[in-house]
Amino acid sequence: MTAKRRLAAPWVIFLLALLVLLAGCPKKRAPQAVLDTPAHHVTNGHKLLDAGKPADAGREFSMAVELDPKYAPAFAGLALVAAFQGDFKAAMDQLDKAAGLAKGDAQEADVAVAGIRVLTLGKTKITAHWLAKAQSSFEKAAKLIPNDPAPYYYMGLAYKDAYDFGNAGRMFSKVIELNGKFLGEANKAYETIQKIERARPGSEVAKKIALVEVLTRGDAAALFVEELHIDRLFAPKKSFDTRFKSPDEAAKPAVGPAGPKASDIAGHVLATDIEGVLAAQIRGLTLYPDGTFQPNNTITRAEFALMMEDILIKATGDEALATRFIDSQSPFPDIRSDMSYFNAVMVCTSRNIMIAKDVATGEFDPQGTVSGADALLAIRQMKTLLKVDF
């Protein structure tokens, strides 16, 4: 009996090992519809990611994995979902899994493109050398599928996020040349890059703000201080006090007028710039009646025109600019000449500080928003008009 038990033991061990192996292998789910395929779910997943719905995209990629547990593009998609949700460790794990399962040039290129995107989303949270790693992924993808716009487009976004605007422009230009997928997005991105390069932002703060789609009051304050240097632009001419002073009086430092204090900017990253703007008292960028500055409020094109007009008047001392276009006929179909901001819009457009939003219709779009790139271009033109190069 003991001998039989000894003989049976290896078979028992084998059966147990087999059961463990089978339990560890993911089971495929049978398709339930004609379009219930891994490729279709991955396509849907990417559409949902583009729509800003990572959780729903994750469901689609997971369904693809259920149908084919070795489908690399599904794991590449899950890597992107994790990156969009801020879990970069999980993103890199899923990316490694996708790379190990990739079959053929198309899937390997797909994984490499996902790598560019994950690294860009994670930036220094993943590695300090994220851009170099993204470049390696780009080179691999571009070599595998030479005429695929995807690696060029996403590498362009990576360079843009790294403030390497020259290389970003070259990538977007290549996408436009290929004239395929991402053409519209690349055209828009290339236009923004061209504006930024013409504006030549000098500070790191300005480079970051250059990429924002919608300018806020805090952003405007930072640009006026960091790029236009309104503290120097509005600095009073030096005067000499030759009156007799006692030694004690002479030792006292000169104290300039203090600007008003905002009640809601304590701890804000741009608090110093906001305080500088408040001291300058720029029209349209002062405190609200309740004493707040509200740095996250967006700025309309009409408001930005008022600010730029006021800066021009203060910098030149030409008070007549404030009424220069009163009683003039409006050239814009969406602005009447009796509107409070009409003169400011005319001052700005007549000096190329701002231009019509729609060249075809001539509309100015006074209630539209201002991008960071457009604000920088306006500041560059203002500096040219004032003949300053701070």
Fold of 38-199: 1.25.40
Write out the DSSP string of 141-176.
Answer: HHHHSTT-HHHHHHHHHHHHHTT-HHHHHHHHHHHH
Which of 305 and 20 is assigned the larger pLDDT? 305
User: What would the pLDDT profile of 361-388 be if each residue is shown by its tens digit?
Assistant: 999 999 999 999 999 999 999 999 999 8
Joined together, the tokens standing for residue 222 give 């930072």
User: What would the pLDDT profile of 126-138 be if each residue is shown by its tens digit?
Assistant: 888 999 999 999 9
**Confidence at residue 232, expressed as pLDDT on a 0 to 100 scale:** 86
- pLDDT range class, residue 231, cuts 50, 70, 90: confident
- pLDDT range class, residue 144, cuts 50, 70, 90: very high
Distances (CA, A) of 390 to 130, 227, 232: 33, 8, 9
User: What would the pLDDT profile of 283-301 be if each residue is shown by its tens digit?
Assistant: 999 999 999 999 999 999 9
The residue-averaged pLDDT of 166-190 equals 97
Mean pLDDT score across all residues of the chain: 88
- pLDDT range class, residue 21, cuts 50, 70, 90: very low
Taking the C-alpha atoms of residue 29 and residue 32, their distance in angstroms, rounded to an integer, is: 9
pTM, to two decimals:
0.80
User: What would the pLDDT profile of 343-363 be if each residue is shown by its tens digit?
Assistant: 999 999 999 999 999 989 999
Sequence spans of domains, the chain: 38-199, 204-235+258-386
Which H/E stretch holds residue 56? Answer: helix 54-67
Q: How many CB atoms lie within 10 A of CB 201?
A: 23
- Min mean pLDDT across 17-26, 272-281, 289-298, 359-368 is at 17-26
- Residue 100 reports pLDDT greater than 50: yes
Phi-psi region of 278 (alpha: psi -120 to 50; beta: other; left: phi over 0): alpha
